Amino acid sequence: MFNLKGKSAIITGGGSGIGRAISLLFAKQEAVVHIIELNVDAAQNTVDEIVKAGGSAFAHSCDVSNQQQMVAIYQSIGVIDILVNNAGIAHIGVADNTSEEDFIKIFNVNVRGVYNSLFAAIPLMKDNGGGVILNMASIASWVGIVSRFAYSMSKGAVAAMTMSVARDYIDNNIRCNSLSPARVHTPFVDGFIAKNYPGQEIEMFEKLSKSQPIGRMGKPEEVASLALYLCSDEAGFVTGCDYPLDGGFMNLNN
């Protein structure tokens, strides 16, 4: 089950964190993985690990907010069976202290980047007879989270785009779903804690971990496992859905 042999998969932001875990798992399941990354060194490190394990992968240096770059790279790849729109950045702030510059920066990566990826990939999927799209949303798409104004805006847009694409292209045999993780333990989390809470790293890690009712943060590999299911043929009847992966955060945090 869940074998991706013969399928070409694009993962944006596949060089680190959740994207890296997805890239490694998809390659293990025999997909040809194409990693789209602004940080090409991170992408190449993931590619090298995949190739060392006997898989097939390629790194592509690209700014997801640049539509011309995205279209050119996707057309050079040609056949796209699976697209995972994972690239994104975070931001801390409320509405009246989020600068216009920061708001636009979040929009350009998290919203425009997903749009550019869809714009570039969908025509190729249509020509290929269909495909699967998975967008990385967030629990911030659905619930209020303190000091995440711009980030929540961007992930709400991702969730809305997911439903729109699922409806618009169902007749083209294109499925589109989204994942909404709660806090996942990635290098970004460690960096965030070290930067904002120097000397309190252990205490803050515990506090952030326990904000999920299950008592811990998620693992990138757990997100990758659900991503694999949703992008596999076994999920052929699943489209237009969002899947919270949140340790009970949305429904049990009361």
The residue type of 142 is W
Q: Report the pLDDT value the prediction gives residue 188, as an integer from 0 to 100.
A: 81
Averaged pLDDT, 100-105: 98
- With CA atoms as reference, report the closest residue to 149 among 110, 121, 117: 110
Q: Report the pLDDT value the prediction gives residue 30, as an integer from 0 to 100.
A: 98
Whether the per-residue pLDDT at 254 is higher than 70: the answer is no
For the chain, the structural domain boundaries read 8-182+219-247, 185-217
Determine the CATH number of domain 8-182+219-247: 3.40.50.720
**Percent of the chain whose pLDDT exceeds 70:** 100
pLDDT digits (tens, 9 = 90+) for 144-200: 889 899 999 999 999 999 999 999 999 999 999 999 999 999 988 888 788 878 999
Q: Rounded to whole angstroms, how far apart are CA atoms 44 and 40?
A: 6
Q: Report the pLDDT value the prediction gives residue 195, as an integer from 0 to 100.
A: 83
pTM of this structure: 0.95
Averaged pLDDT, 14-23: 97
Does residue 197 have an active-site annotation? no
Catalytic residue among 74, 151, 169, 243: 151
- CB distance 243 to 220 below 8 Å: no
